[in-house]
Amino acid sequence: MDRAPLTRFAWLSIAAAVLTIGLKTAAFLLTGSVGLLSDALESLVNLAGAIMALAMLTIAARPADDDHPYGHGKAEYFSSGVEGTLILLAAVSIAVAAISRLLHPQPLEAIGIGLLVSGGAAIVNLLVALILIRAARHHSSITLEANGHHLLTDVWTSVGVIAGIGLVVWTHWLWLDAVVALVVAANIVWTGFGIVRKSVLGLMDSAMSEQERRAVQSALLPHLSGGIQYHALRTRVSGTRRFVSLHVLVPGSWTVHEGHELLERMEADIRHAVPNSTVLTHLESLEDPSSWDDITLDRAEATRE
């Protein structure tokens, strides 16, 4: 799969971040709302995340080479991890500003124009977020997924801030603006931890999803006849690519050609069931006792037992 076209989505995210930073900063300057300030600060994180996404998507698009025989797909996890960390830092900045305003409330100004500008920024983020999330699902990109969900969180943040300012106007309780900003910070923390966790799991060579593993097992099922078995089935995810390895046990009387043809059919069916997957198979004899000694990851461990 060609990953190079994905960088255009990163450029779209960068353009949206620059536009919304300008709109939200203008809204803050017009109203003096710390809630809108928190919204603008999060857009700065959006910009940093989008730039990081562009860099990592560019690296991930590089083909496999001698130093990276399995490709560069894991570069995407660095992007989502950095973005998650930046989100957490933004949450701290928002909380500090909100606590200061909570202790020293200030009246809001030009609320109508400020909310209109902020609402426009929210619409821009919503449209771009939906585009990114759709592209992430189509291309199995964790970078676009993280970026899209971050922008979507930004939309809900804007909605919350606008609602908070509306409550201030209705109740004349100036402290509500700061309270809403604190709620926004808490929501951003939740999102940031989720993104960082998913990135760490990816770098730890996590197995494919339960749905994908069931698809692999279903693809193998039609081949299990005449005593044919398999074991040591392992899967892992590296960026957008899936890796599957297994040992296939066949009668010892089979020729190399017969075994090779079976493995070719198995691998083709797995690749059809799980697109963008690399399948590694190992042929073994049913009658050889040593065939059952390498089920675990470390054959030496299994042999000693």
Let me know how long the chain is: 305
pLDDT at res. 300: 52
Reported as a single tens digit per residue, the pLDDT across 60-86 is 777 777 887 777 777 777 777 777 777
DSSP state letter for 289: G
Reported as a single tens digit per residue, the pLDDT across 232-285 is 999 988 767 789 999 999 998 999 999 999 999 999 999 999 988 899 999 999
Reported as a single tens digit per residue, the pLDDT across 195-237 is 777 777 777 777 888 999 999 999 999 999 888 999 999 998 8
Model's pTM, two decimal places? 0.59
CA distance 166 to 33: 11
pLDDT at res. 28: 77
User: How remote is the C-alpha of 65 from its chain's centroid?
Assistant: 25
Confidence class for position 35, pLDDT limits 50, 70, 90 = low
Backbone angles phi, psi at 44, to 5 degrees: -65, -40
Question: 72 CB contacts (<8 Å, ≥6 apart)?
Answer: 59, 60, 61, 62, 64, 239
Structural domains of the chain, with CATH: 4-203 (1.20.1510.10), 210-304 (3.30.70.1350)
Average pLDDT over residues 48-55: 81
Average pLDDT, the chain: 79
| Amino acid at position 226, single letter | G
CA angle 91–95–99, rounded 5-degree value: 175
Confidence class for position 3, pLDDT limits 50, 70, 90 = low
Task: Show the 3-state SS of 17-34.
Answer: HHHHHHHHHHHHHHHCCH
